[in-house]
Amino acid sequence: MKSGSTARTVANTTDANGGEMYASSSLEARARRLDPSLLKDLLENMLLIRRFEEKAAELYALGKIGGFCHLYIGQEAVGVGAISSLGPDDYILCSYRDHGQALARGMDPRVLMAELCGKVSGCSKGKGGSMHLFDKRLGFYGGHAIVGAHLPLAAGTAFASRYLKQPRVTVCFFGDAAVNIGSFHESLNLAQLWKLPVVFICENNEFGMGTPIEKTASILNLHERACAYNMAHAAVDGMDVLAVRESVAEAVERARNESLPTLIEARTYRYMGHSMSDPTHGIYRTKAELEEHRRRDPVKRFISALEAIGVVTQATVDEADRRIRDVVEQAVVFADQSPEPSPEELSTDVYLP
């Protein structure tokens, strides 16, 4: 295990200390063991998120999407890999950076785009927006916009599974900055103490908004915080979709079979700013640093691995990409053509009757 002081560089594929966890050969090796149709699904899911988010950035610039808009570009492997290991009844909770997970869970891109545009056909009727995506049928329990505040909620849905004796696992995504807030610690303690079937996934993209993790966390191997609660934990290359899938699947099984929680730290990187109002580089990171991380792009790496083992070709990838771009365009058309919420919506959904 790496020492805390080098955590910042573990994200590099070339890192000599990274070992097998970060080697692209392991991605190919894992891919060989999986069904080609699953591999193609995972790739298309990642591509969909990439293209969707690129379009969201355009719509934000056009003023069609308002408020805060936190994009998932660069982190696709985490959401896709993790969610691919879940069953249909499992619970998912996210922070405000939630578009990727919603798409990975199967939310209709049209419904998601409509929500971002504040339309009544959106998943939350246009009343939640980018940061508050919900879909009960998908087990998608939000989009929560106070850092760390949804970790107790995830302990709560996991508690409900245990209480109702249902084999439903909860997966909770949050950023690296959340590990320093009290709710993180209170939730981990309760989850281990009460043996709750929950997988906490820390997406360590190295920055809490514009502040690097070294300036905020006393232990840089963030997953080791689980030691304080006697909880199972692991670090995983968050730019390797199959490594994430494998790690999360193991944790999900632990949750489902033993009703025990896990903390997983997925080391990833976001290419965009913290939100759309934040520049991609120049203030808290250099262009060179960003470019260095782009070299281990999770989508490109996965394509290369799948090409190497003969599951895809450049031509089939291009074809899939064209199809996905069309799906995203259709989502924009749907959002554009969807009506605004009626004025009555202002005061509905405040109380249940």
Residues that bind other proteins (CB under 8 A): 91, 93, 122-128, 132, 134-136, 141-144, 146, 149, 151-161, 163-164, 182-183, 186-187, 189-190, 193-194, 348-353
Q: Up-side HSE of residue 230: CA atoms within 13 Å toward CB?
A: 6
Chain center to CA of 48: 14
The least distance separating other proteins from the CB of residue 300, rounded to whole angstroms, comes to 36
Q: Which CB atom, from 184 or from 271, has the smaller least distance to other proteins?
A: 184
User: What DSSP designation does 350 have?
Assistant: S
Which residues, at least 6 apart from 191, have a Cβ–Cβ distance to it below 8 Å?
Answer: 155, 158, 198, 200, 229, 231, 261
Which residues, at least 6 apart from 122, have a Cβ–Cβ distance to it below 8 Å?
Answer: 111, 112, 114, 115, 116, 128, 335, 338
Which runs of E-coded beta strand occur in 52-169?
A: 91-94, 140-143
| Secondary structure (3-state) at 40 | helix
The least distance separating other proteins from the CB of residue 164, rounded to whole angstroms, comes to 7
The least distance separating other proteins from the CB of residue 179, rounded to whole angstroms, comes to 15
The least distance separating other proteins from the CB of residue 173, rounded to whole angstroms, comes to 14
Instruction: Report CA Rg, the chain.
Output: 19
Q: Which CB atom, from 30 or from 195, has the smaller least distance to other proteins?
A: 195
Q: Which CB atom, from 72 or from 134, has the smaller least distance to other proteins?
A: 134
DSSP string for residues in 256-311: HHH---EEEEEE---SS-SSTTS-SSSSSS-HHHHHHHHTT-HHHHHHHHHHHTTS
Q: Which CB atom, from 42 or from 133, has the smaller least distance to other proteins?
A: 133
The least distance separating other proteins from the CB of residue 49, rounded to whole angstroms, comes to 22
Q: Which CB atom, from 7 or from 198, has the smaller least distance to other proteins?
A: 198
Angle, CA of 161, 164 and 166, to the nearest 5°: 55
The least distance separating other proteins from the CB of residue 12, rounded to whole angstroms, comes to 36
Q: Which CB atom, from 163 or from 315, has the smaller least distance to other proteins?
A: 163
The least distance separating other proteins from the CB of residue 298, rounded to whole angstroms, comes to 30
Which runs of E-coded beta strand occur in the chain?
A: 91-94, 140-143, 170-175, 198-204, 207-208, 211-212, 232-237, 262-267
Tokens in use for 297? 């792009």
Q: Which CB atom, from 150 or from 245, has the smaller least distance to other proteins?
A: 150
